[in-house]
Amino acid sequence: MDRWVYMLLIWNAFVLLIYGYDKSRARRGGRRIREATLLSFAFFLGGIGAMFGMVMFNHKTSKKKFRVLVPLFTVVNAVMIYGIAHIMTMI
């Protein structure tokens, strides 16, 4: 089970860095990461990293879909993780 926790931490740290990278590219006028990609990262168990990325880098906070979907994905992620952990303890 510890391996899954480390994988989630690493994935969320990666998502956080991706949000920071995209913010950096936005400031410099460089090539950006698509919004759909950023939201996909949040949906696929990266909600916590995305939330921290939005707050730390003040990135995509003015976009309504990010203000709604990223917290929603974070809650969905938490429920999914809880469910998976519960199933794993039953096995």
CA distance 16 to 11: 9
What pLDDT, on a 0 to 100 scale, did the predictor assign at position 2? Answer: 79
H or E stretch including 48? helix 47-57
Contact 1, 34 (CB under 8 A): no
Q: How far is CA 48 from CA 31, 32, 53, in A?
A: 25, 21, 8
Please tell me the predicted confidence (pLDDT) of residue 1: 58
Question: What's the token pair of residue 29?
Answer: 């006028």
Return the structure tokens found at 73. 């994905």
| pLDDT in the model for residue 85 | 85
For the cut 90, the answer to whether the pLDDT of residue 23 exceeds it is: yes
CB-CB neighbours of 90 under 10 Å: 6
Mean pLDDT (whole number) for 5-27: 96
- What is this structure's pTM? 0.90
